Amino acid sequence: MFSIGELSKRTKVKVPTIRYYEEMGLLPEAERTSGNQRRYNKAGLERLSFIRHARDLGFSIEAISSLIELHEHPDRSCEAATEIATSHLEDVRVKIKRLKTLEKELTRISKGCDGEGVSEDCYVLASLADHNLCDRDH
C-alpha cells in the first residue's frame, strides 16, 4: 500500500492532481486508514501511471476516461481506442500547423525590427497594434 505522497513520488504526479483525478473518477477512491489517510494499492499506482502517460501525450480527461473504460474491459474491441488516438493525432496535427504559421509570422515580425530604434518606431509593437501589418491570418 502506498500513501498519497509515495504515489506522488513514484509517478511524479502532484498530490492535488491525484486528488483531482479521484474526484473526476479517473482514479478509484483510495482506501482510508483509521486516521483517514489515503492508501493506494498496486492497481492504483498502475492506473495513475496510465493517466500520467496519457496526459503527457496530451489526451483530454474525457478521452482518458474512455480509454480507462476500454482498458478495464479487455474483451472489448480496441477500435474505439484507435479512434480516440487517431482523433487526438489529428488535433495535434492541426495545432502543429497553427504553431508553424505562428512561428513564420513571429519570425517575420521579429526580423522587421533591429532593436536599435525607439519603441515609437518599433515594427514589433506596430505589428501587434495593427493586425493588417501581418502577412497572414493566424
> In this predicted structure, what is the pLDDT of residue 51?
96
Residue spans of the domains in the chain: they are 4-76, 80-133
Cα separation of the two ends of the chain: 50
Q: How far apart are CA 134 and CA 138, in angstroms?
A: 9
Summarised one tens digit per residue, pLDDT across range 74-111 is 898 899 999 999 999 999 999 999 999 999 988 888 88
Cβ-based neighbours of 68, under 8 Å, separated by 6 or more: 26, 47, 50, 51
What's the grid cell of residue 107? 519570425
> In this predicted structure, what is the pLDDT of residue 6?
93
Q: How far apart are CA 138 and CA 133, in angstroms?
A: 12
> In this predicted structure, what is the pLDDT of residue 10?
95
> In this predicted structure, what is the pLDDT of residue 117?
72
> Of how many residues is the chain composed?
138
CA-CA-CA-CA dihedral for 60, 66, 71, 76, to nearest 10 = -140
Q: Please give the C-alpha separations between residue 9 and each of 3, 73, 136, in angstroms, as whole numbers.
A: 10, 29, 46
Assigned CATH for 4-76 = 1.10.1660.10
> In this predicted structure, what is the pLDDT of residue 94?
96
> In this predicted structure, what is the pLDDT of residue 122?
85
How does DSSP classify residue 40? Answer: B
Coil vs helix vs strand at 106 = helix
Low-confidence ranges of the chain (pLDDT < 70): none
